Amino acid sequence: MIANETRTNLLDLDLADCEALVVDLGFKAFHGRNLFKWIHKHGVTDYDAMTDVPKRLREALRGTVDIYLPRIIADHPSEDGTTKWVMELADGQRIETVFIPEGKRSTICVSSQVGCALECAFCATARQGFNRNLSVAEIVGQVWHAARQLGTAPTNVVMMGMGEPLANFEAAVKAMDIMQDDLAYMLAKQRVTLSTSGIVPNIYRLREVSDVSLAVSLHAPNDELRDQLVPINRKYPLSELIPACKAYIANDKRRKVTWEYVMLDGVNDSIAHAKQLIRLLEGVPSKLNLIPFNPFAGNDFGTSTPERIEAFRVRLTRAGIFAMTRKTRGDEISAACGQLVGRVEDRTRRLGRIRVEDGRMEIPR
């Protein structure tokens, strides 16, 4: 099916939207629930196969709305079981989604944008620049495909693929709501994780509308270094980021902020950096993921040695911070953290630098 931009894509609708749609078409709301369930829980996109949806409603839907999904155009399996799917969108842009198996767990790493505008120094996606935000349908469509490929919904979804989810706030939140719906993918709040580089106003906004787990791409224990590695820090420094993260989990003593920390040889991996990190995170319930840097073409960073990473981890652990070294998965298929790339028509370089104002992304015209 060719996407029709003038028609509603049912993958963009949450449960309440589906109910409202069928009511507007002259049918009972419960038919909207059935429609929503067929699409997400059962993975059915053929109206004629939706046996408990009245025939007249199916005809009305066929004449007014579409069901359109990203299209898997490449499937790259890794020896460790990790799989990368390359998906093509209706406009020809491409994104990447990663499946990571771990025993009975199955994690899907989902993209939220075509490319990324935040220019983190160690990330391949950032080197491509940015084209546009993904729609709700394009975000949820990645989980839909994963569920079909696996034969069941994944146990975990992490918004850690291409892009900055909090720069695509409304679509990311709505997509995560659909993931958690009992008539869709039934993911518990602790099984959906949003990862951000630190758009502080939208961390506070997220706290008001969602209870998903929060991960933060930290990567440095001080502003001077983080300004270089994660440039959004120049706008939202650590003195603003740390309180926002602490506030996000303030109402639940069982929750922790997950901090992502890429280990870069000779850059951020010394014991002195570990001591700064301990002071920075004092009083914040935390889990720290130490991520060996995953190299990519055109990047000059090196990966910290296993011995240096372990010394760093031990120093944090002795200070009472729960720290673990993340196992590298899928690096031989460029599916590891920081390696995702797609087909991106780079609007950042063509139109000038992207601005993030009050947590909203703006492209200079």
Q: Is residue 304 a known part of a binding site?
A: no
**pLDDT value at 266 more than 60:** yes
Q: Is residue 217 a known part of a binding site?
A: yes
Among the options 18, 109, 245, 337, which is catalytic?
Answer: 337
Catalytic status, residue 59:
no
Catalytic status, residue 109:
no
**pLDDT value at 358 more than 50:** no
Q: 8-66 architecture in CATH? A: Orthogonal Bundle (1.10)
Q: Where are the beta strands (DSSP E) in 78-225?
A: 83-88, 94-102, 105-109, 113-115, 130-133, 156-159, 192-196, 213-217
pTM to 2 decimals? 0.89
Q: What is the pLDDT of residue 48?
A: 95
Percent of the chain that is helix, strand, coil (3-state, to 5)? 40, 20, 40
Q: Where in the chain is the domain with CATH 1.10.150.530?
A: 8-66
Q: What is the pLDDT of residue 296?
A: 74
pLDDT, average across residues 174-197: 97
Question: Which residues, at least 6 apart from 143, have a Cβ–Cβ distance to it below 8 Å?
Answer: 108, 110, 153, 154, 157, 179, 185
Q: Is residue 219 a known part of a binding site?
A: yes
Beta carbons of 118 and 227 less than 8 angstroms apart: no
Beta carbons of 215 and 286 less than 8 angstroms apart: no
Predicted confidence (pLDDT) per residue in 225-261, tens digit:
999 999 999 999 999 999 999 999 998 888 999 999 9
Predicted confidence (pLDDT) per residue in 97-143, tens digit:
999 988 889 999 999 999 888 888 888 777 777 889 999 999 999 99
Q: 71-362 architecture in CATH? A: Alpha-Beta Barrel (3.20)
Among the options 18, 19, 96, 245, which is catalytic?
Answer: 96
**pLDDT value at 365 more than 90:** no
Q: What is the pLDDT of residue 347?
A: 56
**Residue among 7, 153, 129, 155 at smallest CA distance from 68:** 7
Q: What is the pLDDT of residue 171?
A: 98
Least confident of 171-180, 226-235, 244-253, 319-328: 319-328
Q: What is the pLDDT of residue 154?
A: 94
Q: Which helix (H) or strand (E) holds 349?
A: helix 347-351
Q: Where in the chain is the domain with CATH 3.20.20.70?
A: 71-362
Question: Which residues, at least 6 apart from 142, have a Cβ–Cβ distance to it below 8 Å?
Answer: 70, 85, 87, 95, 97, 108, 110, 111, 161
What whole-number distance in Å separates Cα of residue 254 and Cα of residue 88?
Answer: 39
